[in-house]
Amino acid sequence: MSDIVIDRAAAPRPTPKPGILDIAPYVPGKAKVEGVENPLKLSANENILGCSPKAREAFAGAMDMLHLYPEGRANILREAIAQKYGLEPERLLFGCGSDEIFQLLNQTFLEPGDNIVQGEYGFGAYAIGARACQAEVRMAPEPNYRIDVDEMLKLVDARTRLIFIANPANPTGTWISGEEVRRLHAGLPPSVVLVLDGAYAEFARDPAYEDGAAMVREFENVVMTRTFSKLHGLAALRVGWAYMPPEMASAVDRIRLPFNVNIPAQLAAVAALGDDEFQQRSLALIEQWRPWLTQQLGGLGLEPVPSAANFVLVGFPKTPGKTAREAEAFLAARGLIVRGVGGYGLPDHLRVTIGLEEHNRAVVEALADFMQA
């Protein structure tokens, strides 16, 4: 060994495997504006009411446990969710946000050369995880910004392993009925996993909406994912969960990192789940202001997309001076941060998280000025 001389300058450097450097890094909603102190962040679909006071208390109560490893299977949270929603504990899986669950599903099912199918405006995390497994990401057209079952089915082939839909979807806010989800499922080979991402499920109140829990029990290839980041306002703590067939849960659980949901997060999530008053207040705020914001934006000559989530996607003209990009900058200068969604293939839209009354009014006022300018 000692005789071998390595030419360090010429030696190859560590190289990421093929495909890694083709992945566009996830771009989160902005949180700062240069020169504006304390801007209002309406760019990440967070809960404008914060979180349940009970969750804060539980989080603070975890202070004396920081030296301990969490209980790996998140059993207290598992029991709480099973009880609240009437689900079987062994079918549940917990993640560091639902983001981690998508990653685990991709890792469990994808080999290089396999593919996933999602909508063209599908949430970014599915594709990142799939590409990391050297799988192909197929994007089905979404006419009218909505998942189209037939377009999705057209892309399914023998190498398709997973199909992802967020329902309601981000960044569009649109949803499809339980009947349509079932038609999508009926068109899939039983070997394809249908992932129903319910990050915004609680905000969808139409009786034709189905969150997918019943489908998970009925079929062996359906997964429903949920999160504590939106309704419960615990985005910082990163708690997501999934409901899936027990065999699948047992497989995915093998590659989960042993302590992926930390103790303060588990305790706060349990407390949040028990705070119906906070949940109702959060839902009522969205129910009240979502139609108002949609109607007002439409009244300004913009094109809001009807939403079933806690945000509204709105389309802008292409006319110079009136574009989405210019509107984003105009709002930012007034301390209002909304989400540009060019990265989702929607360069003419902005996504606005629903805020308190004064926030929603401020956004509408600013956009009225922008459109008149």
Which residues ranging from 29 to 58 are in contact with ligand PMP (CB under 6 A)?
45
DSSP secondary-structure letter at 91?
A: G
Closest CB 326 distance from ligand PMP, rounded Å: 25
Q: What is the C-alpha end-to-end distance of the chain, expressed in Å?
A: 73
Residue nearest to ligand PMP (CB): 97
Nearer to ligand PMP, 109 or 241 (CB): 241
Q: Which of 70, 178, 233, 240 binds ligand PMP (CB under 6 A)?
A: 240
Q: How many chain residues are in contact with ligand PMP, going by CB under 6 A? A: 13
Amino acid symbol at 36: V
Q: Which residue, among 353, 314, 328, has the nearest Cα to 145 in the 3D structure?
A: 314
Closest CB 97 distance from ligand PMP, rounded Å: 3
Closest CB 373 distance from ligand PMP, rounded Å: 31
Which residues ranging from 73 to 132 are in contact with ligand PMP (CB under 6 A)?
97-99, 123
Nearer to ligand PMP, 156 or 341 (CB): 341
- Bridge-based pairing of strands 193-197 and 222-227 is parallel
Nearer to ligand PMP, 238 or 359 (CB): 238
Closest CB 226 distance from ligand PMP, rounded Å: 8
DSSP secondary structure of 113-160: T-EEEEETT--HHHHHHHHHTT-EEEEE--GGGS--HHHHHHT--TTE
- The verdict on 167 binding ligand PMP (CB under 6 A) reads no
Amino acid symbol at 185: H
DSSP secondary-structure letter at 8?
A: T
DSSP secondary-structure letter at 243?
A: E
Q: Which residue, among 17, 221, 287, 250, has the nearest Cα to 134 in the 3D structure?
A: 17
Nearer to ligand PMP, 234 or 363 (CB): 234
Nearer to ligand PMP, 45 or 115 (CB): 45
Residue with tokens 């979404």: 142
Which residues ranging from 258 to 317 are in contact with ligand PMP (CB under 6 A)?
none
Nearer to ligand PMP, 229 or 260 (CB): 229
Query: What string marks each residue from 170 to 209 as x (binds ligand PMP by CB under 6 A) or -?
Result: x--------------------------x-x----------
Strand partners, 136: 115
How far, in Å, CA of 77 to CA of 89, rounded?
A: 10
Closest CB 209 distance from ligand PMP, rounded Å: 15
HSE at residue 50, side-chain half, CA atoms within 13 A, is 5
Nearer to ligand PMP, 235 or 251 (CB): 235
Closest CB 167 distance from ligand PMP, rounded Å: 9
How far, in Å, CA of 61 to CA of 59, rounded?
A: 5
Nearer to ligand PMP, 199 or 231 (CB): 199
What is the three-class DSSP state of 162?
strand
- Bridge-based pairing of strands 311-315 and 303-305 is antiparallel
DSSP secondary-structure letter at 47?
A: -
How far, in Å, CA of 157 to CA of 160, rounded?
A: 5
How far, in Å, CA of 347 to CA of 151, rounded?
A: 22
- The verdict on 229 binding ligand PMP (CB under 6 A) reads yes
Closest CB 257 distance from ligand PMP, rounded Å: 15
Closest CB 99 distance from ligand PMP, rounded Å: 4
Closest CB 240 distance from ligand PMP, rounded Å: 4
Which two structure tokens, joined as six digits, stand for 353?
């998280």
Nearer to ligand PMP, 174 or 221 (CB): 174
Q: Which of 62, 139, 235, 283 binds ligand PMP (CB under 6 A)?
A: 235
Residues 6 or more apart whose Cβ sits within 8 Å of residue 300: 364, 367, 368, 371
Closest CB 1 distance from ligand PMP, rounded Å: 47
Instruction: Name the site residues for ligand PMP (rule: CB under 6 A).
Output: 45, 97-99, 123, 166, 170, 197, 199, 227, 229, 235, 240
